[in-house]
Structure 1
């Protein structure tokens, strides 16, 4: 079975690579000028919507969402010939491409935003306020509250959170059995560290690490849940800002933050090796680690109920991050993508209509299942449209159960810099054995300066 999982994943990656090369070879043509462009030999009005989208690791995947939505949009406007021209970019290029394009006042009708970018784009008035649209639409209650709120800046809606992810504890059942480790011991901080020691003593001589500890560029995302479950926050509002009156101030270096960082240090002190390189769960599926905290569901090539069952027989999942004590409420970080309409759009009403259609459960649902993304809408998560994802996505109900305990990162413009300071604090603890409080205080001081307090 392990070989089968690797072969399936290898074949899937190869196929995706071929498609990506094909799409990129015709990059300037994009979607609107081939498959979804229709003949306009009549005298109907012609409208071409333009979009800039993050490529989701596979530029071709957008076809399966935009295509059906565009067909439905056209059906509602028989008097208009509607086409779409969209361009996709890798994650590390998307933000700058969006900023430069919109700052140059180039008309774009639709974009995808990482939730943490939203505040910057809204503050710079690069995206439209969608509040009036959403009030008329009336679907706010269909969203999980944390996801709907993630599209707001100063209580106005600037983006609709389309899908998300959560992270939890994945483990190989046979490897834990071999080391005589009870999976339930992974639920608490003390039990997690004790299990890691036991796993390492049995598995490390065989080239298998007991527990994966993220030390890569996104390490803050794996630390924040420990901060949140203790009642701490990344930032908090404070009065007395030199220019803004009330503004955000670093809070991650308080007692909760120090305690959360100490848990990271305790893992290193127990012999768990931090991992600078990250492969988003591939390393776990290759059985290089017995336990990993990750959003692994995106990387499991499963398309049938039988293959899901076979996977679940071998791999276990605990829907939580380890907690200090059993009576603590767990937490997780939620990522994901929002649809927004740039201020430069010349077709805002049509762009909004296209967004609402893409978000219809019967159109969005199959897309989410195909890529194992988690929904932000309740009726896809646990309502009438949840049947298919429950059938094929491993531990789907457990994953959905984590959404209410999920948190979002700040979406203010300074956040990316703050996250880098937190990462530097984590690096100093992970790789230099630094004092947790001193490391966090240094990061907070640098963050306060960026936020304009110093």
Structure 2
């Protein structure tokens, strides 16, 4: 992970294959490990269903735990042993595309009738690099929803919807802090969960991480205002914010000592099993502005070295099909029609979630994203440590702009 990704990927020299004419094609499909045994039960059923519908195509599945996944992919590509298809974290796509490791799917998608309108727009955009499509959205989620403990809010006479504005969240956080309770679950460790939450506050104030020209925008007023707001809000969070992560906040929320936590919809199954009286609002924005979340999720990519591109594309089409996509994801289906059915059956407030997903934005579509994120993490640690926000943002932008 981290800074080595672009340099490692950029050095790859790949030979494009042609579709095999053999009677039976064997596809290698790599995915992020979902359970101890590999794929979820539903994913395996989908793979089996695909092979039943396509008896001339066999799919061999390899699942890899997330901390090892990216490096395993890099090593496989460098060694000429890349899979035919793999799920790629949204933040990896640009680097693999820049290196020529994954195929441009623009023409295949057009010929198949797949387009942006069938998927959540920001998820589709996360697979577009330099005006070409290098993946098809598979599953999605959005950071952040503001989950709240309804009993704590009711006890303080706080209207939950007030949490959707910066002004209301701060007032509630102050009122809900004390006597062993904490108003907000802010965290600031060096992790991507910190990045996506802070980005959501920046996006909700009309800010950007990188502007349209690829220049750092973190030192511009909208971003500086958002980080200054969070720096102030941090006084109502548990101590040790620089080392705390989203998992730590979940524990506090589950034991009833935290009033508001920032998480994606992925949190709901855990909360549904708890005894908490909970609810959520779609992020937080200044009064009069629309909360904009940060996308997370995975795209299906076809590797340029595959000798079975037509068969691999057929598998990708299958996995994002409306009648399949909702059965194989661990987050939320990226196919909007499948997502609506999935959310209605599995989540509270399905239309509320769809609204937030429809407005969310992807993280910067940069081949140097992981380096950008590392600089962001340092910036956010400086902010939560109490440093001058404008000065810290200026320093971060100098580093980011020097990457190009």
Q: Do they superpose with TM above 0.5? A: yes
SS of equivalent to 2:365 = coil
The aligned residue for residue 361 of structure 2 is: 407
What is the deviation of 1:442? 0.9
Q: TM (normalized to structure 2)?
A: 0.86
Matches within 5 A, 1:13-412: 45-56=23-34, 58-77=36-55, 80=56, 82-140=57-115, 141-166=117-142, 167-201=144-178, 205=179, 207-216=180-189, 217-218=191-192, 219-238=194-213, 248-269=214-235, 273=239, 274=241, 276-280=243-247, 281-298=250-267, 300-301=269-270, 314-319=277-282, 321-325=283-287, 327-368=288-329, 371=330, 373-382=331-340, 386=341, 389-412=343-366
Contact 2:137 2:300 in 1 (8 A): yes
| 1:323-365 CA-partner distances (Å, limit 9, x unpaired) | 121x111110110000001111111111111111111122221
Contact 2:158 2:172 in 1 (8 A): yes
Distance in structure 2 (CA, Å) of the matches to 1:279 and 1:328: 25
Distance in structure 2 (CA, Å) of the matches to 1:249 and 1:65: 40
The aligned residue for residue 402 of structure 2 is: 449
Gapped runs of 5+ residues in structure 2? 1-21
| 1:152-176 CA-partner distances (Å, limit 9, x unpaired) | 1111111011110022111111111
Q: TM (normalized to structure 1)?
A: 0.77
Give the number of the structure whose alpha-carbon radius of gyration is greater.
1
Aligned equivalent of 1:439, options 392, 399, 403? 392
Distance in structure 2 (CA, Å) of the matches to 1:68 and 1:442: 48
Q: Which has the higher contact order (CA 8 A, sep 6+)?
A: 2
| 1:29-78 CA-partner distances (Å, limit 9, x unpaired) | xxxxxxxxxxxxxxx9333211222214655334522432443344334x
With over 3 angstroms needed to count, the CA separation of the structure-2 counterparts of 1:271 and 1:145, relative to structure 1, is closer
Contact 2:156 2:175 in 1 (8 A): yes
Distance in structure 2 (CA, Å) of the matches to 1:213 and 1:298: 16
With over 3 angstroms needed to count, the CA separation of the structure-2 counterparts of 1:191 and 1:298, relative to structure 1, is closer
Gapped runs of 5+ residues in structure 1? 1-43, 239-247
With over 3 angstroms needed to count, the CA separation of the structure-2 counterparts of 1:324 and 1:75, relative to structure 1, is closer
With over 3 angstroms needed to count, the CA separation of the structure-2 counterparts of 1:436 and 1:107, relative to structure 1, is closer
Distance in structure 2 (CA, Å) of the matches to 1:164 and 1:335: 6
Aligned residues: 376
| 1:113-164 CA-partner distances (Å, limit 9, x unpaired) | 1111111101101111111210111021312222222211111111011110
Contact 1:142 1:378 in 2 (8 A): yes
Contact 1:258 1:437 in 2 (8 A): yes
Distance in structure 1 (CA, Å) of the matches to 2:131 and 2:48: 30
Contact 1:181 1:199 in 2 (8 A): no
RMSD (Å), alpha carbons:
2.3
